[in-house]
Structures are given as structure tokens and as C-alpha cells.
């Protein structure tokens, strides 16, 4: 029996239409995905820290079912990139564009010196 496909085809023009620029849209999605991944990693590390022991006992390694269940739960969670794309497409993200500052040529630059 074939496994279900985890690949989702995305409509690139629809993603680009949100900002008017596909690269800006991808940048916003990537930043949000990194935020989500960092949060998940921190949560998992906190939960698994309870199981850390200074002595590695072979029996404890094989019998710690709760730790295994926690790890499996995080493996089954949707990937941060998928969540970030869904949030972006559902207009759940708030982002601001940085102010554009034009770059001038060096001979046009005004340098203020106090003497």
C-alpha cells in the first residue's frame, strides 16, 4: 500500500501576489518557519531535559516509554514550513516592510564634520 504523499503543490503566483514579490513572500515565510522551529525545539528540549540523567543505565534507555512518546509526538507535528505557509496564505502573519533608503554615489554624499 503506497504511503500518502507529503508533498503539496503550491500556487506560486498566489504566494507572490500577497507581497507583489515572490522573494519577499518566501523570505517572510522562511522567517516565520524559523521562529516556529526554534519554539518547537525549545519546548522539546525542555520536556526531554526532565529525562536527562548523569548515569546511563541500559535498562533506563530501553524502558523510558514516556520519552519516546514525547519524541514521536513532535515528529508527527506538522513541519514549521508548512505551518508558516498556511499562516501566510490565511493572512495570519503581520509583517512590515523596512523603510527604503536610496544609496547615493560617494561623490554625492554629504559628510558633516564638526571642527
Q: Which tens digit of pLDDT belongs to each residue from 66-107?
A: 888 888 888 889 999 999 999 999 999 988 877 777 666 656
Task: Say how many CA atoms lie within 13 Å of 95 toward its Cβ.
Answer: 20
C-alpha cell at 108: 554625492
Domain positions in the chain: 12-91
For the full predicted model, state whether its pTM sits above 0.85.
no
Q: Where are the alpha helices (DSSP H) in the chain?
A: 12-17, 22-49, 58-63, 65-76, 80-89
CA 6, CA 79: separation in Å to the nearest integer?
Answer: 11
pLDDT (0 to 100) of residue 49: 81
Phi/psi for 75 (5° steps) reads: -70, -30
Amino acid at each position: 500500500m503506497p504511503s500518502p504523499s507529503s508533498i503539496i503543490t503550491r500556487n506560486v503566483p498566489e504566494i507572490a501576489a500577497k507581497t507583489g514579490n515572490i522573494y519577499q513572500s518566501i523570505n517572510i515565510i522562511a522567517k516565520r518557519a524559523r521562529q516556529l522551529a526554534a519554539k518547537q525545539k525549545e519546548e522539546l528540549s525542555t520536556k526531554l531535559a526532565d529525562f536527562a540523567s548523569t548515569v546511563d543505565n541500559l535498562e533506563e534507555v530501553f524502558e523510558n516509554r514516556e520519552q519516546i512518546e514525547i519524541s514521536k509526538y513532535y515528529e508527527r507535528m506538522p513541519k514549521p514550513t508548512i505551518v508558516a505557509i498556511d499562516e501566510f496564505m490565511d493572512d495570519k502573519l503581520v509583517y512590515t516592510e523596512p523603510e527604503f533608503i536610496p544609496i547615493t554615489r560617494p561623490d554625492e554624499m554629504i559628510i558633516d564634520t564638526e571642527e
